[in-house]
Amino acid sequence: MAKTILIIEDDVEINDMLRILLRQNGYETISAYSGTEGILAHSSKVDLILLDLMLPGKSGEDIISELKAKHPVPILVMSALHEVSKKVELFSLGADDYVTKPFHNEELLARIAVRLKNNRAPSSSDLLTFRELVLNPADFSVSCNGRPIELSRHEFALLQLLMENSNRTCTKSMIYDTVWDYENSADDNTLNVHISKLRKKLKECAPGTDYIETVWGIGYRLKKN
């Protein structure tokens, strides 16, 4: 069954663009153009909310807690604001993710997929596979060619993110936000070290095989061949 996304965005052009993008990628959508309308439109049918901050009447910040109280689903905030303090404030209010305008459609779709995935109850049937790799989120295990691989918490989260988005490039900002959960300590050097360690462990199980490729200036993705 298709997931339903509530778009709360007062700019008609952006709202229409998001509606078309999401429907093209298999989602059902509901559009609202103000904070009050967004609260009224929210229901148990909604699986995720895209929330703009600059809304007429009640702002995005004003309605996050109301939306969560009515029906707790992931809320992905969309805003042109870059300040870390603002992001921290939004998370404290109940937001689950944040994407900065203007954003790449692929990144937005990837963030939506991750939040919807994480919002499900873990199950042993949620195995992720890619070539010889098998990852089980339920028991935090990974194997390659049938051999178990010992990964750190961040290495596991990084591989899981890449496997959940095997057809997309994971941007650096998306990786920082998801794998390090907005920790300020995460930077390019931290990411490079974890990618290097992950590549080394995968190669020990499958010599001569490269699973992760760099997309220069953007991020990383799984290598198809």
Give the domain ranges of the chain. 4-118, 128-222
Q: pLDDT tier at 27 (50, 70, 90 boundaries)?
A: very high
Question: How many Å apart are CA 177 and CA 183, to the nearest integer?
Answer: 8
Is 162:212 a contact under the CB 8 Å cutoff?
yes
Prediction pTM value:
0.58
Report pLDDT digits (tens) over 109-129.
999 998 887 766 545 456 889
* Four-way CATH pick for 4-118: 3.30.365.10, 3.20.20.150, 3.40.50.2300, 1.10.260.40: 3.40.50.2300
CATH topology assigned to domain 128-222: Arc Repressor Mutant, subunit A (1.10.10)
Q: Say whether 128-222 and 4-118 share the same fold.
A: no
pLDDT at 58 over 70: yes
> Which residue matches tokens 């760099």?
214
Q: pLDDT tier at 75 (50, 70, 90 boundaries)?
A: very high
Beta-bridge partner residues of 77: 51, 98
* DSSP one-letter code for 121: P
pLDDT at 122: 47
